[in-house]
Amino acid sequence: MRQQSHDCLKIQSTGWGIDMHSFLEKLHKDHGNLEKILALLSLQLDHFFAGRESNFDLKIELMEYLETYADQGHHPLENLIFNTARKHLDADQQELMDRLQSQHESLVQLTRKFRQSLENVLQGGVMPRDELEVQGREFVALQRQHLDLEESEAFPLIDSVMTAEDWREVAANIPAHDDPVFESPDKVRFYNLFEYLSNAE
């Protein structure tokens, strides 16, 4: 997150047709980018499992992006916001926050595991193709379910309970972490991904 966003406490309009706080707008924008990454990963897996040519370096870069940004920047900001909102929530609503935060932990493990499986196959490992497929499909499905649950239930709830003071508390503690693809492009580290995106445009 860039420094300029720390002081950005104004309300912005979103695609939902209602006004959301700028931090939620930022998370919503991240989700759009994550959807793009997941769609690309899914397409690459389709090619690979159909026996067509697919780019393993690209797949590994996609997983690396998820590890670098989703797990280390995006989810920690969500956790901070969820924890700040907790004092306003009833037991069922707290349970929703618990579920999402435990999904963040599982997603870290699953992202690492699938990236390692891809690297193993790339290096000539003996992992069965169908095992890799199950792992990849489950990973994409879980990520999507998680994003949907946040968008449909958690964000509107958070937006309705958080006060200006709560948002100031979030702003004061926000984890600093730039997005290395969509905010501060690292075209060396994510070479294949940028190649793909520029050809797709």
Closest CB to Fe ion among 41 and 81? Answer: 81
Q: How far is the CB of 56 from Fe ion (least distance, A)?
A: 27
Q: How far is the CB of 78 from Fe ion (least distance, A)?
A: 5
CA distance 44 to 115: 14
Q: How far is the CB of 39 from Fe ion (least distance, A)?
A: 18
Residue 90, helix vs strand vs coil: coil
φ and ψ at residue 20, rounded to 5 degrees: -125, 155
User: DSSP code of 13?
Assistant: E
x-or-dash string of contact with Fe ion, 60-79, rule CB under 5 A? ------------------x-
**N- to C-terminal Cα separation, the chain:** 26
User: What are the tokens at 151?
Assistant: 């968008």
Closest CB to Fe ion among 62 and 132? Answer: 62
Closest CB to Fe ion among 41 and 58? Answer: 41
CA distance 85 to 79: 10
Closest CB to Fe ion among 25 and 78? Answer: 78
Binding site for Fe ion (CB under 5 A): 78
